[in-house]
Amino acid sequence: MDKASAVVTPFGTFNNRRNNIVAHKIKWSGSKLTFYLNISKSGIIRTQKTVYNDVDFKVKFHGILSLFQAKYDTYEEMDKIYVKPKSSVSAFEIIHNSNYIKKLPATKAVKRNMKHYRLSTIDDVFNILAEGHEFKVRQ
């Protein structure tokens, strides 16, 4: 069964409210996918350091195998059609023991290196299968 855990960023983890992250730009190049985002100060929980303002950041995923995107309200209605974790814990999380990965027609070697990320913004939910990610604060 799928189990979600929050991705730890340099600021800590993000809460699970959909209106805290805004996507400004999404760029796909080869097997890399980059999100340019902003999170409100109130969206950051369990902080690693003090946050005084909203934070602009980017998340770059590498080794992309699959991307599934849906409008937030549509995604919530797809509960019986699309496999998602029973309980979401963060607006940016990793899904362990992912049924999404298990059901893909890919070799075991490819699946072994994949991680299932879920990123929820104010408008959209993204399920990303990638080998890894990189988080950077934008200046």
What tokens appear for 135 in the block? 């988080």
Mapped onto helix, strand or coil, the DSSP state of residue 80 is: coil
> For position 63, what pLDDT does the model report?
94
Determine the Cα–Cα distance for residues 60 and 46; give it in Å rounded to an integer: 22
Using a CB cutoff of 8 Å and minimum separation of 24, what contacts does 35-39 make? Answer: 35/59, 35/60, 35/119, 35/126, 36/138, 37/121, 39/14, 39/91
Higher pLDDT, 139 or 127: 127
**Tens-digit pLDDT profile for residues 8-50:** 888 788 888 777 899 999 999 999 999 999 888 777 776 666 6
Radius of gyration of the chain (CA): 15
Task: Name the DSSP letter for residue 30.
Answer: T
> For position 129, what pLDDT does the model report?
94
Q: Among residues 123, 138, 117, which one has the least CA distance to residue 7?
A: 117
> For position 50, what pLDDT does the model report?
64
> For position 77, what pLDDT does the model report?
62
**Tens-digit pLDDT profile for residues 54-103:** 888 999 999 998 898 888 766 666 655 454 555 678 899 999 888 888 88
Give residue limits of the domains in the chain.
Answer: 3-137
- Segment 119-136 mean pLDDT: 92
For the entire predicted model, the pTM comes to: 0.85
Higher pLDDT, 132 or 80: 132
Given a cut of 70, whether residue 1 has pLDDT beyond it is no
